[in-house]
């Protein structure tokens, strides 16, 4: 696809102003409105060199530069040289690129086959898969798809929380009050009841915490009863989690959780010790990080059991040895910022220069309208319930608005679950937000259903117009401002995907396809399509086809379906 910005840079460079192409690129701006051009070059920096006012330099530059085939005109506005892209060239490059690349339009080869690991979701075994997990799950899945789209060899990792003191609590609770048959009938709810009861009783009797620690230590020491109970709890929990993953259409390349690294920690701790990083503090083993303005990283508790940091360090070292990753990405809530800074610093102190390639992607927290989520107190909203309610609400809307729609249940699933995903990925991931049923299930405004409906509208137009891809379409017939604005947004889609890649931020794509949907509907309402003269109809249907392809690709990168009918 023609890079019009690069063409503008080349023209300025040919005017011999004493700047490199890279320097010129830093001075290129995007004007606030298209009537001021598509690109603008600021001449302030040249004032010292040429000893002239920037507006006079801009005027001289315009007289030196020939617009050529890529620009309709080049003019100066005060101290700026403004470039107006040729509308015909813009339409030609967009149509030809999308026609050739189809659902690969917007992708690049920046990945070059390099290995990228994306760790996301990672729920704790035996605890509810609740609304608090939605963010890591859908942000991580989208980043996985985005990196894959950009030519990286990408792996999705589910680092299950299947180890730690909470398993000591569960084993102790099960041995006191548990019943296998009751738990098998409703695993997560029953295990949650045991967990909540144990914590409530432990507030009255502190000796229960010692009991929990004892059983976790037994688990680490390979006690047969502890391992058998732990494996059973892990298996039935994962079976329940997979119901949600199936609804979200999310899969993983690895489910190796914390337990997978339990036999790798001794070697890692020995390596830290050999490198002089460990010291004792109140019976525990730590790495002192005071000189880095951080509290100490706890490596081993006073009772000898391991901690999260130990397991994360062991996991990162294993992954480097096993995958030789280019980037090792962790999609984990911002409340874990310090934890990640600590253990990544420890890896750096161990002498591993790839520590910089372990990247924590934080996101804001979810709370309920009446306060924070708390598994210990049983205050949770199950994610499966949220998804089911979204599907049910969508089905009711479809029955009301389009009762004759085929495959209503399937479309309701695509749209309802899409609404949840889209809401999560619309705002910057770092923002905290309050979960609200009303907002989540709203189908008005800048929402997933709105974008999906636009895709369905485009599909319907193509079907009614009996559209077929042709070698030649007279793109010069597309002159209306609403047509050109839509084409401009399609042209900028690859840039939005690149931004999402480099900034680990799916919302760049979400917001861009909302803008495409808005521009498409404006075009649809202002430009007759099926009733236009044949050549113009073909050109406009080609624009419909290109819009449909880009919206579908954008939705796919978010982890959403694009129904053809709604």
Site of tokens 């997560």 = 188
Predicted local distance difference test score (pLDDT) of residue 351: 98
User: 3.30.70.260, 3.40.50.300, 1.10.730.10, 1.10.287.1080: which CATH number matches 389-558?
Assistant: 1.10.730.10
Per-residue pLDDT of the chain (566 residues), as tens digits, is 999 999 999 999 999 999 999 999 999 999 999 999 999 999 999 998 899 999 999 999 999 999 999 999 999 999 999 999 999 999 999 999 999 999 999 999 999 999 999 999 999 888 888 888 999 999 999 999 999 999 999 999 999 999 878 889 999 999 999 999 999 999 988 998 998 899 999 999 989 999 998 998 898 888 999 999 999 999 999 999 999 999 999 999 999 998 899 889 899 999 999 999 999 998 999 999 999 999 999 998 887 776 789 999 999 999 999 999 999 999 999 999 999 999 999 999 999 999 999 999 999 987 767 655 555 555 667 889 889 999 999 999 999 999 999 999 999 999 999 999 999 999 899 988 777 767 766 667 789 999 999 999 999 999 999 999 998 999 999 999 999 999 999 999 999 999 999 999 999 999 999 999 999 999 999 999 999 999 999 999 999 999 999 999 999 999 999 999 99
Cα(564)–Cα(134) distance, integer angstroms: 26
Using DSSP's 3-state secondary structure scheme, residue 82 falls into strand
Catalytic residue among 21, 73, 133, 145: 133
Q: Convert the pLDDT of each residue in 176-225 to its tens digit.
A: 999 999 999 999 889 989 988 999 999 999 899 999 989 988 988 889 99
Q: Give the fold, CATH level 3, of 115-264+307-368.
A: Rossmann fold (3.40.50)
Predicted local distance difference test score (pLDDT) of residue 387: 93
Cα(262)–Cα(379) distance, integer angstroms: 31
Contacts of 355 (CB under 8 A, 6+ apart): 344, 345, 347, 348
Write the DSSP symbol of residue 512.
H
Cα(516)–Cα(451) distance, integer angstroms: 9
Predicted local distance difference test score (pLDDT) of residue 435: 73
N residues, the chain: 566
Structure tokens at 217: 């230590």
Cα(157)–Cα(119) distance, integer angstroms: 5
Angular region, 203: left φ>0, alpha ψ -120 to 50, beta rest: alpha
Q: What are the distances in angstroms from CA 102 to CA 94, 150, 214, 546?
A: 11, 15, 59, 8
Cα(75)–Cα(61) distance, integer angstroms: 9
User: 3.30.1360.70, 3.40.50.300, 3.40.190.10, 3.20.20.370: which CATH number matches 4-85?
Assistant: 3.30.1360.70
Cα(221)–Cα(122) distance, integer angstroms: 24
Angle of CA points 99, 102, 104, to nearest 5°: 135
Predicted local distance difference test score (pLDDT) of residue 437: 66
Predicted local distance difference test score (pLDDT) of residue 126: 84
Catalytic residue among 89, 130, 148, 548: 130
φ, ψ for residue 3, nearest 5 deg: -100, 95
Structure tokens at 476: 């010069």
Predicted local distance difference test score (pLDDT) of residue 378: 55
Structure tokens at 185: 């009938």
Catalytic residue among 6, 52, 99, 127: 127
Predicted local distance difference test score (pLDDT) of residue 100: 96
Q: Give the closest residue to 154 by CA, choosing from 84, 253, 75.
A: 253
Assess whether 389 carries a catalytic annotation: no
Contact predicate 557/145, CB 8 Å? yes
Predicted local distance difference test score (pLDDT) of residue 130: 84
Contact predicate 110/125, CB 8 Å? no
Contacts of 476 (CB under 8 A, 6+ apart): 88, 91
Q: Give the closest residue to 386 by CA, choosing from 530, 242, 244.
A: 244
Contact predicate 345/313, CB 8 Å? no
Assess whether 512 carries a catalytic annotation: no
DSSP secondary structure letters along 73-131? EEEEETTEEEEEE-HHHHHHHHHHHHHHHGGGTT--STTTT-EEEEE---PBTTS--BG
In 459-547, beta strands by DSSP E: none
Contact predicate 428/505, CB 8 Å? yes
Handedness of CA 267, 272, 276, 278 (dihedral sign): negative
Assess whether 479 carries a catalytic annotation: no
For residues 397, 401, 407 and 409, what is the CA-based torsion angle, rounded to 10 degrees? 10
Cα(99)–Cα(4) distance, integer angstroms: 19
Q: In what order do the strands lie in the sheet with 28-29?
A: 28-29, 39-42, 80-85, 71-77
Q: Give the closest residue to 77 by CA, choosing from 41, 29, 23.
A: 41
Contact predicate 161/258, CB 8 Å? yes
Contact predicate 58/65, CB 8 Å? no
Q: Give the closest residue to 487 by CA, choosing from 544, 562, 538.
A: 544
């Amino acid at each position: 696809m023609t890079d019009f910005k690069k063409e503008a840079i080349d023209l300025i460079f040919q005017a011999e102003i004493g700047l490199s192409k890279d320097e010129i690129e830093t001075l290129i701006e995007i004007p606030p409105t298209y009537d001021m051009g598509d690109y603008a070059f600021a001449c302030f920096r040249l004032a010292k060199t040429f000893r002239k006012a920037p507006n006079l330099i801009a005027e001289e530059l315009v007289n030196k530069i020939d617009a050529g085939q890529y620009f309709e005109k080049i003019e100066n506005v005060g101290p700026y040289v403004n470039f107006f892209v040729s509308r015909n060239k813009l339409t030609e490059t967009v149509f030809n690129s999308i026609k050739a690349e189809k659902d690969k339009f917007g992708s690049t080869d920046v990945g070059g086959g390099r290995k990228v690991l994306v760790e996301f979701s990672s729920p704790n075994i035996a605890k509810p898969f609740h609304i608090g997990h939605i963010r890591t799950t859908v942000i991580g899945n989208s980043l996985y798809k985005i990196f894959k789209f950009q030519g990286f060899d990408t792996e999705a990792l589910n680092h299950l929380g299947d180890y730690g003191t909470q398993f000591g609590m569960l084993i102790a609770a099960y041995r006191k009050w548990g019943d296998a048959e009751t738990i098998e009938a409703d695993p997560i709810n029953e295990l949650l009841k045991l967990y909540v009861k144990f914590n409530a009783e432990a507030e009255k009797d502190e000796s229960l915490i010692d009991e929990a620690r004892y059983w976790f230590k037994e688990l680490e020491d390979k006690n047969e009863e502890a391992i058998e109970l732990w494996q059973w709890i892990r298996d039935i929990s994962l079976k329940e989690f997979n119901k949600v993953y199936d609804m979200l259409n999310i899969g993983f390349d690895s489910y190796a959780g914390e337990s997978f690294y339990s036999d790798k920690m001794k070697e890692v701790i020995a390596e830290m010790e050999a490198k002089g990083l460990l010291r004792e503090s109140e019976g525990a083993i730590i790495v002192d990080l005071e000189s880095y303005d951080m509290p100490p990283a706890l490596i081993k508790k006073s009772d000898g059991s391991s901690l999260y940091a130990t397991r994360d360090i062991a996991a990162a070292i294993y992954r480097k040895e096993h995958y030789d990753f280019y980037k090792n990405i962790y999609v984990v809530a911002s409340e874990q910022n310090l934890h990640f800074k600590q253990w990544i610093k420890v890896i750096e102190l161990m002498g591993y220069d790839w520590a910089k390639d372990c990247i924590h992607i934080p996101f804001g927290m979810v709370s309920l309208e009446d306060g924070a989520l708390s598994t210990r107190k049983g205050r949770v909203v199950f994610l499966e319930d949220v998804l089911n309610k979204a599907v049910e609400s969508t089905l009711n809307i479809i029955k009301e608005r389009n009762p004759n729609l085929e495959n209503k249940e399937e479309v309701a699933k695509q749209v309802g679950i899409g609404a949840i995903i889209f809401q999560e990925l619309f705002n910057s991931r770092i923002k905290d937000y309050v979960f609200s049923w009303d907002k989540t299930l709203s189908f008005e405004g800048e929402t997933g259903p709105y974008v999906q409906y636009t895709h369905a509208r485009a599909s319907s137009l193509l079907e009614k117009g009996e559209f077929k891809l042709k070698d030649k379409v007279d793109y010069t017939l597309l002159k209306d401002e609403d047509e050109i604005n839509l084409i401009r947004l399609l042209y900028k889609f690859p840039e939005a995907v690149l931004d999402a890649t480099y900034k680990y931020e799916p919302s760049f794509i979400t917001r861009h396809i909302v803008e495409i949907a808005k521009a498409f509907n404006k075009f649809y309402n202002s430009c007759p399509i099926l009733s236009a003269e044949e050549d113009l109809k073909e050109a406009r249907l080609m624009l419909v086809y290109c819009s449909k392809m880009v919206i579908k690709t954008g939705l796919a990168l978010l982890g959403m379906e694009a129904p053809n009918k709604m």
